Amino acid sequence: MTAPVTDESARVTSPLTTAVTATADTAGDALQRRGIFTAATLDRCISCGFCLPTCPTYALTKDEKSSPRGRITLMRALETGQLADDDPTLIEEASFCLGCRACEPVCPAGVHYGELIEEWRDHQWRGDQRPLLVRPLMWMVDRTWRYGLAATIRRHALTRRHTDGPHLMLGCFERMLFPRVSRVTRRLRPELDATPIQGCCGALHAHNGELERGRELARELGERLPGTIVTTAGGCAAHLSDVLGRPRVMELSEYLLRQGTPPLTPLLVDGRRARVAIQDSCHLRNGMGVYRESRELIRRVAELVELPHAGTCCGAAGSYSIVRPKDSRRVLAPKLDEIQNAGIDYVVVVNPGCQRQLITGLRRRHSAIRVLHLAELLGMAAE
């Protein structure tokens, strides 16, 4: 017969045996805080786990450490020194997180996870720890003249006059990858001022471990573009509104709903209304709560087809698709299935990262479905 597990047997320990401690992992216990995280934000999590079903990386792994709650538990261990800075799980999970913030709207305690992941990377990715691939990108957008050169190569929108706004922000990536978006936007709303020298919103820095530089860039941009800033990139909108305040920032769909569009003719495909789906921008939806507006606009020109997971991340996630291409594709795959099975003509995006991600993904699958920015779709309907 097997002997029961008793206190006697417990005295035999092994090298792998860890000490069992029942401790509070929030403030007030014996463990010292290191000040890596804003205490009030980190303490807010009640560990209920409601975020688990919304997390794309948890869906891939079904492992607690790759969930928002698990990552907060890891952050707390980092904060209190229970886990060291160079713990491989800490390094991996800080990077594996998409930063999509899908966990925020469902959180009953209102944890600002987006702030925590930025603080985490700010600490974890200091110096050599920053992913190699993201460094040249950050270098590129850090000075206005560098991507200013792009204007001479790519024909994005430009206006020479200087006004108090409203200003059309020319996102660093969008102006290079999809210059048409800003041109069409100015056709829809000609009063938008597209000054060439604007600067970067700083989201890339903030999400990649240079939180303060990211904020500084946003403030500089705010000074160069006084008044209302209109942006066609959901990611930029969310970061700018975090730093400059919500009233200064309007994402395109919000702006168009408020200011109106030129007369629109419904788009037809084979004599019927075009069938159009939307892929939300994570930070626009989860950070700013803006997602109804784009749908409202699509409905004016086409039949809106709601994808079951339109609100979940496509895997682009800022620089994620560059830093972790394999995981990015794993996140994308089920989304492409959904898009291909929806019987649609177009899929609309409101962020250049999502645009690139879906175009690449659908091209790889030889799909005929076209990816358009919301501005481009409305531009077609306005012609």
Report the candidate in 194, 153, 147 with the shortest Cα–Cα distance to residue 170: 194
Minimum distance, C-beta of residue 102 to another protein, in the bound complex (Å): 13
Tell me the H-state helices in 81-178. Answer: 88-96, 103-106, 113-124, 134-142, 144-153, 172-177
Name which of 3 and 132 has its Cβ closer to another protein: 3
Name which of 87 and 216 has its Cβ closer to another protein: 87
Q: Do 178 and 150 meet the contact criterion of CB atoms below 8 Å apart?
A: no
Name which of 11 and 366 has its Cβ closer to another protein: 11
Minimum distance, C-beta of residue 244 to another protein, in the bound complex (Å): 25
Minimum distance, C-beta of residue 292 to another protein, in the bound complex (Å): 17
Name which of 56 and 379 has its Cβ closer to another protein: 56
Minimum distance, C-beta of residue 11 to another protein, in the bound complex (Å): 7
Name which of 9 and 152 has its Cβ closer to another protein: 9
Minimum distance, C-beta of residue 339 to another protein, in the bound complex (Å): 22
Name which of 19 and 132 has its Cβ closer to another protein: 19
Minimum distance, C-beta of residue 243 to another protein, in the bound complex (Å): 24
Residues forming contacts to another protein in the complex (CB under 8 A) are 1-7, 9-31, 40, 43-44, 46-50, 52-53, 62-65, 67, 69-71, 73-74, 77, 82-83, 87-90, 93, 106, 108-110
User: For the range 160-166, what are the long-range contacts, defined as Cβ-Cβ under 8 Å and sequence gap of 24 or more?
Assistant: 161/193, 162/193, 162/195, 163/193, 164/226, 164/227, 165/193, 165/225, 165/226, 165/227, 165/228, 165/229, 166/191, 166/192, 166/193, 166/227, 166/228, 166/229, 166/230, 166/250, 166/255
Block residue for tokens 């990139």: 233
Name which of 106 and 342 has its Cβ closer to another protein: 106
Minimum distance, C-beta of residue 98 to another protein, in the bound complex (Å): 18
DSSP string spanning 27-62? Answer: TTSSSPP-SSS-HHHHHT-----TTGGG-HHHHHH-
Minimum distance, C-beta of residue 55 to another protein, in the bound complex (Å): 11
Residues whose CB is less than 8 angstroms from the CB of residue 346 and which lie 6 or more positions away in sequence, other chains included: 274, 275, 276, 277, 302, 369, 370, 371, 372, 377
Q: Do 147 and 156 meet the contact criterion of CB atoms below 8 Å apart?
A: no
Name which of 20 and 368 has its Cβ closer to another protein: 20
Q: Do 234 and 241 meet the contact criterion of CB atoms below 8 Å apart?
A: no
